[in-house]
Amino acid sequence: MTAAPALEPSTWHELVEAWRNVQLPGKGWRAEIIEGVIVMTPPPGKPHNKVNSRVIKALARVILDEWELATALGVVIPATGDTYEPDLAVVPREVLDADPPGDPVVADQLLLAVEITSWSNAKTDRETKLRGYALGGVPLYLLIDRFRAGGPSVLLYSNPESGSYRELSCVPFDKPVELPDPFNLTLETRDF
């Protein structure tokens, strides 16, 4: 009898290389590295896309010309090695112009990360990504939680410090949420 070979955990570079080369089953699928595992997620449904579209339209009216709205952007969290693909990110154009073009951006280069919960990933968005974005130094994390126990809500986390956000603003759908400087935007949620 021979023993099975012991499998060694992948290095971060090996994991990122596998992430870059993953064959997704179809258009709209995304691959992320979450807690050291490559996770594939199917395309979101119509309600999710409607909410994302509303947020994009609102932000497009107020962002500076040198910023971009990115909906398919790999974002690496150096402290954990995770690589997320937020539903929406606001990032300076110069970051998107940097070489090499296929590399994920570092989280602290974002101005805002937006996640919209789906039934299957709500816990990840509420806990893992909340912690990851804070550890990564993303100044603002907007979590649109359609499945929150207290009712659908919009949560804006700000002022990351030592791996957690120091401030939270939570409003139910139908109430506006205030995005602070540099956006200075009242985001209406009644159509969410």
Q: What is the pLDDT of residue 7?
A: 53
What one-character DSSP code corresponds to residue 174? T
Domain membership flag for residue 21: no
The secondary structure element, H or E, covering residue 41 is: strand 37-41
Look up the CATH number of the domain holding residue 107.
3.90.1570.10
Q: What is the pLDDT of residues 107-137, one digit of tens each?
A: 999 999 999 999 888 999 999 999 999 999 9
Domain membership flag for residue 20: no
In this prediction, residues 20-29 reach a mean pLDDT of 80
pLDDT surpasses 60 at 2 = no
Q: pTM of the entire structure?
A: 0.89
Domain membership flag for residue 32: no
Q: What is the pLDDT of residues 56-71, one digit of tens each?
A: 999 999 999 999 999 9
Long-range CB pairs of 172-178, under 8 A, 24+ apart, other chains included: 177/142
How many domains in the chain? 1
